[in-house]
Structure 1
Amino acid sequence: MRTFGLFLLLWLVNLGGRGAVVAYSSQNATALAFTSCLSGNGIENVTFKSSSSSSNYYTLLEFSLQNLRYAKESVPKPYALIVPESRDQLHKSVQCSIQHGWQIVMRSGGHSYEGLSSNSQAPNFVIIDVMKLERVEVDMKSKTAWVESGATLGQLYSAIANKTSLYGFPAGVCATVGVGGTLSGGGLGLLARKYGVSADHVIDALLVDANGKLVDRKGMGEDVFWALRGGGGGSWGVVVAWQIRLVKVPPVITVFNVNRTGNDNVTELVERWQSVEPFAPEDLYIRVFVFGGSPVSLTFNGMYLGPLPQLLKLVNEIFPEMGLVAADCNETDWIGSVISTAVANG
């Protein structure tokens, strides 16, 4: 189970504080030593900002960047982009970065809207992108899976669905979000009312710590294991892979999408939703999106862990103002519900 690649998180330049970071104006020797370290360890999938292939550098940098503010020329850019092709290469990339004083910014799906997976204020930093470390192994005997941090939610969901229609995983519906970012940030999705956040279902992890050592849950200790599940990237190390617990889902799930405009008393509908959703049965998840414009509009979007007739009966009892009808709904299975909701949300 420990034949996995790595991921996300961190601020691994813990080598005596800021004195470990070398200013760009005096970085040539450090950069040369760093480059030699990568090359000496067989890490060739590296693109440097100053190289003749700088166009490839910017293509790779922006390829999964979701917040385009960080593509602006004024935003600091990494000295290098490293794309490890194996767990060993990732491990060695981290060790070379630590040894030569480079801050590491880890990138999985690139969906960090704060730019934590794309930039840094440190004078010297590199991005290690784990997109090629995307293995998912589902074990239905234990109802668990090991998933590398470079896998996306779409890849995780697909791997689970290929094994069973009666188990799933509680996370979001955007298929391109990285697993590493989801689990290190908490992970909220349509199964949250019943099963909590994604990080609640992490039962083990492989971590490269600030000393470059590869450890599992036992080796890192319970305090670190607790902190890296939802504490956010940037503090504890590079997570190689996560072991997660699958959750049971019914064979029939109903998803729905209801659109309303300002002519339908949008303000009153949102206020009513606020009083209904916190007390609804845990099998029902309703969220609302409010859109500006003239008139203002909104969309109620959600999931019910059961068939369509039961959903209609329940909603018309507790939230008749939403006006849910059968035409707003799609009765499917778990993987179908994820796909339907993703399509509905664009």
Structure 2
Amino acid sequence: MKAATARGANNAQREIAVVRLFAVVAVVCGLLATPAFAANVGFEEVKIANGAEPPLTVGIWYPTDAAAVEQTVGTHTETVARDAPVAGRRLPLIVISHGGGGWYDSHYDTAIALARAGFVAAAVSHAGDTFDDQSRVMQLWRRPVQLHRLVDYMLDEWADHEHLDKARVGAFGFSNGGFTVLVMLGGVPNLSEIAPYCHAHPDHDLCSALQHAGVNPDLAETVPASVWLRDPRIKAAVIAAPAFGFAFGRAGLSGVRAPIQLWRAADDRHQPDPYYEEAVRVDLPHPPDYHVVPNAGHYDFLPPCDARLARKMPALCNSLPGFDRAAFHEQFNEDVVDFFRAELH
């Protein structure tokens, strides 16, 4: 009886040891698949070659163990360590495409949240569609080419590219940037859809903006499908308020296979429902991780403004009564990080 009891105890101890071993293995595997955390966020601005055109301006946020200080980056105050060493290996990369009239710092809070979670976030200022140069705002085919150039640079030319995992690349895009990322994932828009849309909805912001700029939407019919550049290196994407969503259709989105987190502001008066996000959602081959933000407007996907910027650009900074943009961005950035963690494993 005592021998049987001893054997039972030994078996139980062996089973406990095996369970503990599996637990340790699971933890180690989890750590290997999850971006590493660093103490702070590093930042650098670089210029990258862009063929025969002037260099593109890029902002890069990344994990670092260097001390970070509060400082001005463009029009925002950020707590970063400028030009500090990168911490970590096999870091996933997220490239960011801003909306029309923005620049690389337009989504700095999301970039910082990604860097704190162990990602490298790189954003390009889209030449010809920035706050200080809108000379080529309707030449939408230029944007995917520029974002593709950013991926090339980060993976092969960036001074710290050896810290990156080339197999784990994602993209974030807002408004015109959301359109850009859809194209990078394999979407092929038909810009000839813009003219009938504007004939039917001349009061919509897109159409009134085209009229104000003196752009004839009928000219979009001359754009060949071959100009749209796909980048198979992008494995997952977060897309907020994609512009020109109606221009894709089911056929135009049939080649999009990567997982997508799609966001819509419920009170987006700039891009009225159902012609933008909803049009994309219903025509994607696979259902996206879809979020509708109650009481939010189009520009609530931009970071909260300080008092000076709010006075200078109230149209971008003012939210509807009762909407807390700062609280929303805390949750939004957390959801973006969680999505990329899950999909870029």
Quickly name the TM-score band, shorter chain normalised.
under 0.3
The alignment's TM-score, normalised by the length of structure 1, stands at 0.23
Highest RCO, 1 vs 2 (Cα 8 Å, sep ≥ 6): 1
User: Larger helix proportion, structure 1 or 2?
Assistant: 2
The alignment's TM-score, normalised by the length of structure 2, stands at 0.23
